[in-house]
Each structure stands twice: as structure tokens, then as C-alpha cells.
Structure 1
Amino acid sequence: MENYPAEWEADVVLRDGGTAHLRPIVPADAEALSKMHEAQSPESVYLRFFAPLPRLPKRDLDRFVTVDYRDRVAMIMLVGSDIIGVGRFDKISATSAEVAFNIADAHQGRGIGSILLEHLAAAARDLGIRKFTAEVLPQNRPMLQVFQAAGYEVSRGFDDGVVAVNFDIDPTARSIEVQASREHRAEALSVRTVLHPTSVVVIGASRKRKSTGHLLIRNITSAKFTGDLWVVHPEADQIAGVQAYPSLGDLPGKADLAVIAVPAESATEVVQECAAHGVKAVLVISSGFAETGDEGAELQRRMVATSRAYGMRVVGPNSFGLVNEAADVSLNASLAPFLPDSGSLGLFSQSGALGTALLSAAKNRGLGISTFVSAGNRADMSGNDVLQYWEEDPDTKTVGLYLESIGNPRKFSRIARRVSRVKPIIVIKSDLTGRELPPGHIVRTSSLAPNTLDQVLGQAGVIRADTIHQLFDLAQVFSTQSLPAGRRVGVIGNSAAMATLLVQRSRSEGLHVEAEPVSLHPEVDAERFRTELDAMYARDDIDSVIVTFTPSAGAEEAEIAAHLSEAAARSQKTTVACFLGIHGVKDELTTYLTDDEGARVSRTVPSYVGPEDAVWALARATDYSRWRAADHGRFLEIEDLDDKGVRSIIESALSDARPGTPVRLERSDTRALLSCYGIEVLPYITAASVEEGLAAAEEIGYPVALKAVTNVLRHRMELGGVRLNIDSPEELREDFTAIQRIIRQVIGDSDPLVDVQTMAPHGVPCVIRAGEDPLLGPLLSFSLAGDTTELLGDVSHRVAPLTDREAGDMIKSIKASPRLFGYRGLPPMNIDPLGNVLERLSVLVERHPQIRELVIHPMVATETEGHVLSARIDLLLDPTRIDSTRRLLS
């Protein structure tokens, strides 16, 4: 259909965890809309139309389903082919529209109105509309609540028996917070539906013992699943001792979770059958989808679209399975024939093979898990979804993720930023830019350096591990120990060489070894070791303890281990150990205590094969503890941000733009746009001749700087494109002529232009970039100006929005930052103006995704203030931000 805005389509998660499909209305929806209307109660019809209307007249029906997607917009929400909600707006002025909703009676209370409002508001903003109005009957409290609870500043008026509602639809801090909270609750609940089934059906199992389906059934039964387990098979009476039924319609009840192991080409048909029989979620073990090529990708797309349209979540395809060790569930719907014990570690893996390795490593180290999810091709349920669940799950204390790709890194960062404040997140990921993907993973790519997302993860408090080995080294600390209170470490053992190695390694990892290490005789007896342990734990200048013991003719290792576990448990200081022959979380280093409520609890000291592993894990746990305890600052709250002015400049510049083609903003418009956000560019006048240059200098006042108006030479002092500290007409005449000559030689411009600019005070020139990255969304970068910085990649990156603390950390984190703080006797510069500009730009690019790239080059930091000397802005007509101001499954 002409002008149909396909980009407005979305799959969404409802308040109860179910899914639905949202899209713009089309004329072919007339019959479904009429069906929905006729199923409504008389009261619902009256609240929507202010009159009894048992059937929609054809004229009205045609008008409702025929819109132009500009002045008249309508969106519907569907489950299957049934419309369960409608939202629409009609333009009443250039910047305002009247909005209305109608939610099916059978689906009231599922949050449909709130989601429709978010999507309508996003579409309206795309069309230049900034305000919604609505007329609502006073008794229609649910609809009034939708407006009030959305987080906008709503004004009401009462006239002629109707409540008139008005509100601006620009996102506010409150509306963004409300949206994130609703998204979190809905997605957490949708994952809970998958991980806490009360009934499971396996589809596609054969009677062959070595088949995938047969193995799945055996694993589910051996784990003693607490719910009902059924099998669908057209011929067998039972498989692996479990009752089989010919079809889903023959089951004795509804299945919460369907485990599918059928060929890929049959999967969509099976999913449709699951939808018809009320299945809530599907786990697709089968392969043969996107990992095999375009044909498989299309099969995968159809299967997922069908599942979401009927309210079901999909794990997989090409999944290794999922596990929930909770006592009231006990589900092993995976291909793993063995499981770790129940514990507090949540594991997520995209790779099936690596999923096996993760479970095996956890079991070998004695680490218990709470849940395990293998996403396979990650066609629907992702690590972001499972993080939402783990944030609420009381059984999960630590999160471990193996990620082959991140489909929505901005959302991951946003969620992780919140989860990391209460639970540590450890991530293994080799390539984070989207350029090196395993088969079956379809994500956007970023041109940024590979370390960019490392910095973004660090901003969110996420801990990066390079290997599975490191993930579990760190998980051992988090699963058994309290967080380190500080960086001060004590070292004790019966090997002087090992003690020296531990001290050196600790210092290289950023830990502080201020207390003299206690190096006992190799054949020390148990009582002496115990006395020294107690003395070390009693010290106030030690936050964590590293203990090493090498067996000898002296004390028995088991005796020392018992003393250590008891002393560590009593002190509650973070402790790691290196005991030969003990690797992981083992009984030998476990003691049992009675807690305040009289319950018997275990306390274990984790042991490592080598000192490097122990120190690395302790150092990363300490870094995380300090991040979690730190004040992360506050987001910018400034009244002088003129978003209307910014929108006007952007819309004017993009009025004739072509989709996908960047538009360079005129320099005068760039200055005006930055001024809307309180950022002023140092005055300059562009001159085409020496005479104009002299006049400009007289107007501005000497001393001045001259800069070539061409990207090739503009910041290249070494190529003669910049001349500084010109304090006389004679000097200006000479330098102006020289720059014009160089421009003609380098780029062949017969009419070269030169900027005459106020000379900034002496300081440190810096470069600030902000804009929309295809993978990460609104991103900021900071560095010092100069070739050395560019060659060495000494650049810091953060995603927007930034707090004041994050802006400051961004500046301090580059390796060349000492130049800003008094390096080698230089005066320290005032970095507050730099931080303020970073904060303002983070809000700017967060609110205006059309800004593809904004570059301030340079901004000079001086001892007292900062000066923006030059800036450029590139715009893009059709930005497609992954994590936008509307909730959707991506």
C-alpha cells in the first residue's frame, strides 16, 4: 500500500508477559475491526463513542480503516488475526492531534492502551506533532489513568460533561522511567513464563534412544520435573516411559512450554498448532534455520513472527535448551545429561557447544546454578530478556553471559546499568562490533574500535572476561564471598616464592599490599598457621586476604583448609586461596554456621590452580565492589535547553534530504543549534580576500587566528592551514596570503576562504564527538587533539545519557589526561566546562537521533574556562534507533 509506514510495525510484550503484533491499520482490517466492536459491551462502546452503537455503520467503518498515515493515523494490536486494541490520532493543527483508544473487553488490564500511546506518540513526533489532546467521559477511569500514568505532564479541564486532556508528547525523565519500568516488568514476566512451566510437552521425539527428542525426555524425567510432562507422537503410546498422545488436541491439559525437535521446515506449522492450543512458550531445539543461509533465515523469520503474533515467546532455534534448578520446578529441558547442583549463578549462552562447556565447568568447580538458558540463534528471547528476569529472581545472585553477538547493545547497556547495582554481571564476548558473527546471528555493525563496547560495558558496571575459565574464576568469588570493602590485601602462606609472586601480581592488578606478607616456614604446623590467620583477619588495614598453602612434611592440607574456612567465615573478609589439588568451590574449604534465624548455612573459600587466577578474580571483584559503591552522579537538569529551536533547524535542513544520504549542516546553523543547548562557538568571520580579512580582524580585535575553510587543511597546522597569535595587520596580510596560496595548491580552489577567529587563550585542545552509532545508538567520544591521539586510539567512549560523574570519568580515563592536570609542571586546566559540554551533548543526541555526527574540534580547555573553536554537524533523515522511545521486541 502506498505510503504505508512499515517501520511502525512492532512485536510487543504485554503486561502479563504475552506478546502481540502492533501495526498501522489498513482497509483490509474492516472485518476484524467490526468483529471487535460487536464483541464489546454496551458500556465500553458508550465510553468510546459517547453514544450507544451496537454496530459500526459502513461509512464510519470505512473512515476508521482508511487513513493517510500523516494527518490521520491509526494503529491496531493483534493476537493472531484478532484485533485486541486500536489507537488513533487526528491532526487538529500543525503541532497537535486528538488521540483516542478502544481496547477489547477480553484484553483489558494487559497494558495495551499504554503501549499504543507510546507508539502513537513516537509516530506523531516523527510527523512534527508535539501535543496530544483527548476527550474522555469522567467514568472512563481506565483511559484517564493511561494518560496520567504515562509520565507526561497532563492538564485536565471539565466542560459539558467531558474531561478534556492535554499533554506534550516529548519524552520526559518521568515518561522514560515509566516506559523502562513497564518494559522490565513485562519482559521479566515473559521469561518467567518460559522458565517456570507447570506443564511441558515434547514435540518431535522418536522412539530411538539416541534421538534428540528421546534425550530431552530422559533429561526432563531424570531431573524430576515437578509439573506435568507429555509427549506428542502420532503413533507411539509412550516414549522413554512418558505417555504419548497423537496431537496437542489430545493432551489432558494445556501445555505452558512446548519443546520442539522437528525439522526446520515443519517448525512454523507446529508453532501454529501450539498457538491454537494455548501453549504459552516454545523452546526450539531444531537446527536448519538462519545458520544455514537465506532459506533457513526465512523459515526462522516466519516461525518467530507466527509465535509472537499468537502471544508466545521463542527460545532458539538451534538452542541447547534451558534449565531451572528451583525446587518447585526442577526442569532440565536441555541436551545436557548432567547438571551442576542448585546454586545462585545464572548462565546464558548463545552457543550450544559452549553451553555444554559452561555447565561442565560449573559442575567441575562445584558451583551451583539457578537457571541456564541457551538462546541458539537468538531469534526472539535474548540475553536482554533474561537479564530482566534475573534482576527480579531471588535465587540468582550472579549473572554469567556467553555472547556471540549483541543484537541491541544500547538496551543491554541500559538494563545492565540497573542490574549491576544489585548483582554482578560477567560477560564473555570475543567481538562486540557485529563484524565477526557466527552463522544465524543478524545484527547491525559498528565502525568503531573493538574497545568501544568494552568501555560501554564498563560504564554499565559489567565485568568482561576473556575466557570461560575467567568467568568461573570470578563467579567463585561472587558466589561464596562478600564483596571486598577496599583494595587493601593481606597475603599469607608457607612459601616465600609464592608470597612474592602474589604481591607482585596484586600490585599489577591495582590492589594495594601495604601489610608485610606473612611467609611461614614450608613445614609450618597447623596451630601456628591458625594463629597467623586469626591475626591477619583481625587487622583493620586489610580488606581481603589471599591464602596459599603448599603441602609438606608439616601440617596436613585438610587441617589448614578447615582452619581457613572457619576463620574466613567468622571474619567475613573476602578471601581467595591457592591450595594444591583443590580447584573451585569444594567441601574441603567449606564450613557451616548458624545464621541469625537459626538456619544452618555454608561458607566456602574458593580455591584456584594458580596465583594469577586468584589475584585476577579478586581484583575484578574489588573493581566491581568499588563501582557498585560509588556515587554515579546525576543526570543533567538544566532549563536552558531549547529543543524546539533544535527541531526547527534540523527539520529545515532535512526538508529536501534523501533517505540514507547525510546532510552537512551549514556552519551558521551549526552555531545556532549548539547555542540552543548553551554551547557557544568562539566568534569568527569568513573572509575571501586579504581586505575582508583585515576588516574582520578589526571587528573582532587582535590577536586573531586564521584557519583554512576546507576539511583537508582546517586543523593541519603542520600543512600551513592554521596560523595563530596574529597581532598586527602586517602579519595578517602575510599569513592570509600564505594560507590562500596553500589552499590553491592542495585542493585547487580558485576562490579560497579563510576564517578569522578570536584567538583563544592558551590551553589544551580537545576533541568531542557525539552522534548516532548504528549499533550503540547515541554515543559520545572524548580525546585530546593531535595525531598522536588518533594514531594510538587514545579515545574514551560512553553511551548517552551521561551523568556528571560519568562525564568527568570520561575525561580522566584517557591515557593522555595528565596533560589536563598539571603534567610536568604545566598548570592544571579547568575540566568542568568540558564535562558540561559532554553532558549537554549527551542530552542533545539522546533527544535528536537525526544527528548522525557532531564534532567539536577543538575545544580548548584553559586554566579557568573552555572555548569551542570549531564544530560541524551531519544529519540523517531516517535514523533507525534500535532502542527507541517505544517498547518493542527487537
Structure 2
Amino acid sequence: MRPIRPSDADGIQTMHSKQSPESIYLRFFAPLPVLPEKDLARFVQVDHRDRVAFVMTIGEEIIGVARYDRIDDTAAEVAFNIADAHQGRGIGSIFLEHLAAAARERGLEVFTAEVLPQNRSMLQVFAAAGYEVSREFDDGVVAVRFEIDPTEKSIQVQEAREHRAEAKSVRSILHPGSVVVIGASRKRNSTGNLLLRNLTAARFTGTITVVHPEADSVAGFPTVPSLDAVSEPIDLAVIAVPAESCAQVVRDCAARGVKSVVVISSGFAETGEHGLELQREMVATARSHGMRVVGPNSFGLANTAPEVSLNASLAPFLPDAGTLGLFSQSGALGTALLAAAKTRGLGISTFVSAGNRADLSGNDLLQYWEEDPATATVGLYLESIGNPRKFSRIARRVSQVKPVIVVKSAFTGRELPPGHQVRVSSLSATALDQVLTQAGVVRADTIHQLFDVAQVFSFQPLPAGRRVGVVGNSAALSTLVVQRARSEGLRVETAPVSLHPEVHAEEFAAALKDMYADPAVDSVVVTFAPSAGAEEREIAAVLADEAARSGITTVACFLGVHGVKDELTAYTPQEDGSRAARSVPSYMGPEDAVWALARATEYAMWRKSDRGRYPELENVDPRAARDIIERNLAGVEPGETVLLGRDDTRALLGAYGLEFLPYLTARTVDEALAAADTLGYPVALKAVHKRLRHRMELGGVRLNVDDPEELREDWAGVSAVIDSVLDPGDDHGIDVQAMAPPGSACVIRAGEDPLLGPMVSFSLAGDTSELLDDVAHRVAPLTDVDAAQLVRSLKASPRLFGYKGLPVMNMEPTEDVLLRLSALVEAFPAIRDVEIQPIVVTESDSHILSVKVELEASADRIDSQRRRMSGG
């Protein structure tokens, strides 16, 4: 999809000529076999402001066009024309979504349309879009009118459409009925040959075709010289040809109607600029034909479902079928992930290696796994997150039904492996940590930890609470478990049971029964050290049986047993006559067992928690805010920033119901005295320059100035500091501001982070918070619970709630400020930074003292209402 161009005239005429008389009549209200040249010119020549039009293409063929024409300052008429062969595919809904976004950016508020009553499909597009649509029937035509500001329903409609489309595209990749291998050599050690042998060894249930221009057979498979020789439909192409040839191969696949391609070949963006251009050409070709690309530089993919049995990867083995979905961005680590899963006895449902992640990403897989019945737990190894805001949004939704575990390297994007093109965060590494926590995602530091916690999710029920019971035959091991459990935020309210080292199986079983029966126990950690008593296998069998009967979350540390083993598995009969396996995961050390249990518990508590609601904010005027932003950015070059003046800053915050204490800037003591008379004593004096502002310890701030005499004295003191610190050309002004009531000074920042999207941050004022990185971060939009947690998640937050006799501050007004700033930066990605420093929190209210707002021209956001397309 792209903006229309004058050169599209022939393509529009061609599409029109293929339309049925009925479709033409519904669009133009008259028979019109050929578009008149005058009308055609008007259709393709638009100003991209008052007249906007988009086209949808497959390759070079135009299959749809949509447009709006401005009627007046706030309204525009909208119209669509979809090729007959592509009607009913949701193209009209996509057009409407993009047209509305473009119209809002240009100040429009309302769309109108005239539709014939029999054009039910077009009327359905408007009705299903989620807007409040009004209809009037007059003179045989239905006049439709609706406001285009996003509504809760319209956003839900868009996200649902996105979810369906992306999940379906991934399903077509992982459930192919036919696979073609392109680039398989007769050399046994070649990549293509290995892929072909792995496909065969997995007993793929579909058809396999090998394309080779010369050989009659490869790895025992007969070949065809080209894709043109393949008669049946092709779902998936696995490509292992040199990078220079990939774009042409993908072009051939597109011409043949292949749905998706997996590009194993390397030599793309990871090699430099030339490789990046090859990668972009290949992906652009695929996208123009509606194809998905896995890779390039991919390790491949797999689906263990018996009805598929697909191993289109370089792994010569696969774990058994199971419920763990695995995504790896690194090709090299693909083998390590699969080997680790197999070693631990963890079965997988599906596996995908995205390589350079030029198209298919972890977000796409999350969309698929959310509803995939074969996947109960998701594990992701990410080297970069191209769209973290979208990841957070989708992961928060998926985490409500399935655990999501992430191993993330290069946290802020500064240490990316070659081939990954992402933005760099301006925040500390803890920001993304907190975003993951906000979304309910389990963070693992290593692949080892990913599988540690995956073992719990795959084979045990979620813990009902934080209370842990401990049973073992070693007092030393039990002590380690208790200490680690408490450090991880778990509670040990029942005394640990330390049996004698030579314990017998019957004694162990009795101790387990008692622990599982304790109402103060939500989960159990079992340790066992080999001794002269019962054999390890006996104790394992007892534990497996008792844990399965109890239904209580259990993890174990059997020294020398790692993973999920048969000796720790119990099989319980089901009503249908089958037997269900329930395994207790075992860990090499007690610390690993407790760490995994703690992460599973945190996730279980998040899943049961109230995550709040998005409040309906009063006194909000987005159009006034948009006018201020667009006026200040008019004529500013892309990438440049603009610091808002005082009046516009006040107006912008006022548009979202926020006010700050008034202040006046003075250049002389007489101006300062006049400002103080206007504002009223007591006042504060603050150096304007950023090197001294907010720096009381440097002498740039004086508070509680009660009268003119004290003001003269303090003015002289601040001026002396300014003269000694600043250069002559710096701003030597001093702000005079009304004093806020005494309270705790805090800092709020919000804005569009290049990597994480719209972020809101909160901390106590002062260098200590910055030096110790005691800053709380959340991604916008915030719920009321997000805002409350934001101010309470700081290590220093007890200072706001009565620590050692300090007054208890009323944080509700500050939480309201956070919610309003969240809404502001969520709506306007051009806001690079809003810095409130300080906001003074008191026992009754909060007072904003100083605000700085910085805008960035052409600031765009991935995953937003705003759309950026090639060609316009």
C-alpha cells in the first residue's frame, strides 16, 4: 500500500476496465466502461493534504484505490474502489484506517460518503470500523457521516485485524502442505543438502520438491529445473542460494504464487551496506506480492505436530513434540536452543529462527502462539527488538493466557550484532526491564535460565501464592533454599523439614504428604542428596507420585539430575482412559530451583493481579495540543528539535489539564522586585541556565524569599554564582517564582524514546536518584494501576509514605499528572521530552514548578495511529 502517483493513471484505468458493470455502477452511480481522461487525471493528481489517495498493489498491479477530498475545514468525503477479484479480503478496512490517520494529521475531524443502498459491503466497512456512524437516506442514496478520532472500539477493531492477519500469515509458514527447496547441492555437507535430509528425516507429511537446474536428483529426490515445472501449489520455499541471487529467486517464487520463503543464505545486512541493499531488495519484492520472509541468515524452522512433522532447519535433530514455542533471532544459537531443550526433556511445539529479522519477527510469532492450542509456553531469544512498544502491547495480552519468557541481549540497542537495524534507547537498561515486567513477561539473563523457568511452566501448575515449603535430607541444602527463597521475595512460613541423610522412601513420602497438606504452603522445593539410605530413583518416584496427587507446584534439586526425567514423572489415569504425565523439574543446584520457582510465582501473581483501566480524562483538548505542536514545527527540518517557549509550554500542558506555578524571568534586581510584587511573597529565585537550574548546592537556587530586602540579598548571591560559573554569552537570567508549600520534590519525564516509544518516568529529585538509577519507567498509555505502581516502585519511595516519621504524601494528584502526560505523549510522537523538575508533592496536593518541552520534527512512531508509507 502506498500514496497514489500521477504515473498510476494506466494502472487505474486497467483495474477499472476489469471491473464488472455492477461494481462500476456502485462506485460511480452510472455506467462508465472507461474513465474519462479528465477524471483520471484528477484521480491520480492529488496534493496529499486536501486531496489524499492511496493504492493497493500486488507486484505492479493496482488492485484497489481509496481517497478523500476535503469539503471544508473539518470534513472530507471518502470513496473506495476495490478490484472484483480482491473484494471481501478486508482491503476497504485497511484503506479506511490509513485514510483516517492521514486526515487526522491534516486537521480533519469527519468523514462523509454517499453510498448506494445495495452496496452493502461498503456500508459494512463503515459499520465495522468502530466509529459512531450516522446514516440518512435521501434521493436513493445513503449519506454516511462519522467522526474519525480513534474510539476504544475502533482501536480494538484495528488490533483485532492486525492480530488475525499476522497470526494467519505465521500459520501458513508453520503448517505448509508443500515445501520446495531451492539451492540444494549434491554435496552432502552443503546447506541445501542438509536441509533436504532434515526434511526427509522428520517425515514431513506434505510434498517436497527440489529445484536444481542441472542435477536429476539430490539426496535421493528427483529434481525439477525451475519453479515453472511445479504443477501443484507451493506453500513454503526454503532458499539456500548465494545472497546475490536471492532477490531473483524470491521474484520467481512470487510469480509462481509461493506464500512464504525461508532464506537460510547469509551475506546480507550482517556483511555491510551492500548486503543491506540486497536484503531490502529481497524483502521489498516479497512484500509487494504479499509474501512473508523468514530470515535471511536464518537457521530455519520446525513444527513437531504429527500432522505436519516439519524440520526445515539446519538442526539434524529435534526435541520431542511438546508445548514450548521457541523463537531465536540468532541462527548460531538455534542449535543451542534445540539441544538444550532436548537434553532437559522439554518438548517443543514450534521453532523459528528469524536471523536478520528482515520481515518475520518475534511479534509475529507472539500473535500466532497466542491462540495456538499446541503451545502453552513461549520462549524468545532476542538480540534486538525492532518494535518494543508493539512487543509490550502484544506480550501483555499473550501473558494473560500463556507465560512469555525472554532472553534479551544488547539491552539498549548499543551492542547489536551485525545485520540488526534498530533505534538506540536514550534510557538506562533498567527501562526495558521494567517495560517487560509491566507486560507480565518473565526476564531471563541466559538461555540456561530460560529453560529453568520453562520447565516449571511446562510441567507444573502455576503457584497459588508466595508461601514455600521445603523438604529434604540435607540441612545445609534446606538452609540454602530458605535463604534464596527469601531473597527472591518468597515466604517461608512453615518450618523446613530436614530428614536424616539415610532417609527411607516411606519416611520421605510421609514428610511430603504432611507438607502438601499444610494450608500455609503454595509451592514446595524438594532437595535430595545421595546417601546410604534410599536410592535416588526410589525418592524420585515417591516425589513424582505425591506431587501429582497434591496438585501443588513442586520443583526439585536432585544432585546429578537436570531437567525433566522419567524417574520424576508420574502418570495419572484420566476419565477418558488415557494417562496424563506430570513431571517434577529437577535442577543442578538449589539456587536454580528457587530462582525458577520465584519467576513462576511472580508471573502467577501478575496474572491474578488487577492491571487497572485506562481512565477517561476530563479537560483534555487534543486538537489544541496538535495546533501548538504543528505551529512550532512548521518549517523545521526533519530531525531538528524545538524547545517550546513559556507560553506554548503552558498552553500545551493546559490542553491536557495540567498547570504549573507561575514564574517571571528577570534580568535586573528591579525586574525581580516587580515580579515578586506581581506573584506575591514568598518567592523562589532560580538561575535560568541549565547548568545551575535545580542545583541548590551550587548556589543557583534560593528559596523562601520573604521580602524585598531578602530578595536583594539573594539576587546578589545568585548573580555572583552565575558570573563565576557561566560564560558571558550564556543566559544570565533569573526566574522569580511563587513558592510552593513544603513537600517532597520529585521529577517526572515523558516523551518518545527512539527505541521504546512513548515512555513515562518518575523519581525523587536529586543526583542520588540518577547516580543509583533509582528511576521508575513505564510505557504509555498508563492504566491507573500503572501510575500507582510507578510512584511506589522506587527504592526510595518509602520517603513519600511516612518513612521514619516523615509525612505521608497524597500521591493521587501526582498519579493524575502521570496519567495526563501518558495520554499526551501517547497521542503525539513529536514530543521528544517533557521534563517536570520538580513537582512538589505535599500531604494534600502536588505543584508543578518547572516544565521543559522539546519537540522533534518528523518524529514518527512505529506501531501507532500514524502511518508512514513509501512514495509520499
Kindly provide the amino acid, as one letter, of the partner of residue 857 in structure 2: L
Deviation at 1:158? 2.5
- Residue 158 (structure 2) aligned to one of 167, 170, 179: 179
1:6 aligned partner: none
Q: Decide which moves more: 126-135 or 617-626.
A: 126-135
Kindly provide the amino acid, as one letter, of the partner of residue 109 in structure 1: G
2:94 aligned partner: 115
Q: Decide which moves more: 36-45 or 164-173.
A: 164-173
Where structure 1 has 5 or more consecutive residues not aligned to the other structure, the ranges are: 1-21
Offset from partner CA, 1:63-119 (integer Å, 9 cap, x none): 211222222211101011111110111122233221111111101111111111121
Kindly provide the amino acid, as one letter, of the partner of residue 593 in structure 1: T
Q: 1:508 to 1:311 in 2, by over 3 A?
A: same
Offset from partner CA, 1:274-329 (integer Å, 9 cap, x none): 11111111111111111111111111111111111111101011111100011111
Deviation at 1:533? 0.7
Deviation at 1:831? 1.1
1:195 aligned partner: 174
Q: List aligned pairs for 1:139-288, cutoff 5 A.
A: 139-288=118-267
Offset from partner CA, 1:688-740 (integer Å, 9 cap, x none): 43333333333333222222233222211122221111222221222233333
* 2: CA distance, partners of 1:829 / 1:727: 26
Deviation at 1:272? 1.1
Kindly provide the amino acid, as one letter, of the partner of residue 716 in structure 1: R
1:547 aligned partner: 526
Q: Decide which moves more: 837-846 or 592-601.
A: 592-601
Normalised TM-score (structure 1): 0.96
Deviation at 1:672? 1.6
Deviation at 1:335? 0.6
Kindly provide the amino acid, as one letter, of the partner of residue 243 in structure 1: P
* 2: CA distance, partners of 1:751 / 1:114: 53
Q: Decide which moves more: 682-691 or 42-51.
A: 682-691
Deviation at 1:238? 2.5
Offset from partner CA, 1:129-164 (integer Å, 9 cap, x none): 232222111221211221222222222222222222
1:429 aligned partner: 408
Offset from partner CA, 1:655-702 (integer Å, 9 cap, x none): 242322111111121112111211110122333433333333333332
Deviation at 1:244? 1.6
* 2: CA distance, partners of 1:366 / 1:692: 77
2:481 aligned partner: 502
3-state SS, counterpart of residue 392 of structure 1:
coil
* 2: CA distance, partners of 1:819 / 1:727: 28
- Residues 118 and 886 in structure 1, CA contact (< 8 A), matched pair in contact too: no
- Residue 410 (structure 1) aligned to one of 346, 368, 389: 389
1:721 aligned partner: 700
* 1: CA distance, partners of 2:730 / 2:43: 61
- Residue 465 (structure 1) aligned to one of 419, 439, 444: 444
Deviation at 1:865? 0.8
Offset from partner CA, 1:575-600 (integer Å, 9 cap, x none): 00011232111100001112344431
3-state SS, counterpart of residue 857 of structure 1:
strand
1:569 aligns with 2:548: yes
* 1: CA distance, partners of 2:576 / 2:158: 39
2:750 aligned partner: 770
Q: For the aligned residues, what is the CA RMSD?
A: 1.6
- Residues 183 and 887 in structure 1, CA contact (< 8 A), matched pair in contact too: no
* 1: CA distance, partners of 2:797 / 2:677: 37
Q: 1:414 to 1:887 in 2, by over 3 A?
A: farther
* 2: CA distance, partners of 1:86 / 1:522: 78
* 1: CA distance, partners of 2:104 / 2:407: 38
Q: List aligned pairs for 1:34-113, cutoff 5 A.
A: 34-113=13-92
Deviation at 1:875? 1.1
3-state SS, counterpart of residue 564 of structure 2:
coil
Kindly provide the amino acid, as one letter, of the partner of residue 845 in structure 1: V
Identity %: 70
* 1: CA distance, partners of 2:266 / 2:731: 64
1:5 aligned partner: none
- Residues 689 and 730 in structure 2, CA contact (< 8 A), matched pair in contact too: no
2:822 aligned partner: 842
* 1: CA distance, partners of 2:334 / 2:111: 49
- Residue 375 (structure 1) aligned to one of 337, 343, 354: 354
3-state SS, counterpart of residue 675 of structure 2:
helix
Deviation at 1:752? 4.3
Deviation at 1:889? 10
Offset from partner CA, 1:38-80 (integer Å, 9 cap, x none): 1111111111111111111122112211222222211101011
Q: Decide which moves more: 186-195 or 574-583.
A: 574-583
3-state SS, counterpart of residue 226 of structure 1:
coil
Q: 1:503 to 1:279 in 2, by over 3 A?
A: same
Q: List aligned pairs for 1:336-351, cutoff 5 A.
A: 336-351=315-330
Deviation at 1:651? 2.1
1:31 aligns with 2:10: yes
Offset from partner CA, 1:761-812 (integer Å, 9 cap, x none): 1111000001111111111111111111122221111110001111111111
1:297 aligned partner: 276
Normalised TM-score (structure 2): 0.98
- Residue 868 (structure 1) aligned to one of 843, 848, 858: 848
* 2: CA distance, partners of 1:755 / 1:438: 48
Offset from partner CA, 1:861-886 (integer Å, 9 cap, x none): 11111111110111122111111216
3-state SS, counterpart of residue 31 of structure 1:
helix
* 2: CA distance, partners of 1:239 / 1:140: 54
- Residue 787 (structure 1) aligned to one of 767, 770, 779: 767
- Residues 291 and 440 in structure 1, CA contact (< 8 A), matched pair in contact too: yes
Q: Decide which moves more: 618-627 or 682-691.
A: 682-691
* 1: CA distance, partners of 2:164 / 2:731: 62
* 2: CA distance, partners of 1:706 / 1:889: 49
Q: Decide which moves more: 57-66 or 390-399.
A: 57-66
* 2: CA distance, partners of 1:889 / 1:521: 70
Q: List aligned pairs for 1:555-634, cutoff 5 A.
A: 555-634=534-613
* 2: CA distance, partners of 1:735 / 1:505: 55
1:657 aligned partner: 636
Q: Decide which moves more: 701-710 or 27-36.
A: 701-710
- Residues 198 and 227 in structure 1, CA contact (< 8 A), matched pair in contact too: yes
1:828 aligns with 2:808: yes
How many residues get paired?
869
Kindly provide the amino acid, as one letter, of the partner of residue 877 in structure 1: A
- Residues 744 and 750 in structure 1, CA contact (< 8 A), matched pair in contact too: no
- Residues 688 and 751 in structure 1, CA contact (< 8 A), matched pair in contact too: no
- Residues 684 and 758 in structure 1, CA contact (< 8 A), matched pair in contact too: yes
3-state SS, counterpart of residue 370 of structure 2:
helix
Deviation at 1:888? 8.6
Kindly provide the amino acid, as one letter, of the partner of residue 760 in structure 1: A
- Residues 618 and 657 in structure 2, CA contact (< 8 A), matched pair in contact too: no
Deviation at 1:814? 1.3
1:309 aligns with 2:291: no
* 1: CA distance, partners of 2:829 / 2:53: 24
3-state SS, counterpart of residue 296 of structure 2:
coil
Q: List aligned pairs for 1:697-716, cutoff 5 A.
A: 697-716=676-695
- Residues 326 and 370 in structure 1, CA contact (< 8 A), matched pair in contact too: yes
3-state SS, counterpart of residue 373 of structure 1:
strand
Q: 1:280 to 1:888 in 2, by over 3 A?
A: farther
3-state SS, counterpart of residue 794 of structure 2:
coil
Deviation at 1:447? 2.2
Kindly provide the amino acid, as one letter, of the partner of residue 756 in structure 1: V
Where structure 2 has 5 or more consecutive residues not aligned to the other structure, the ranges are: none
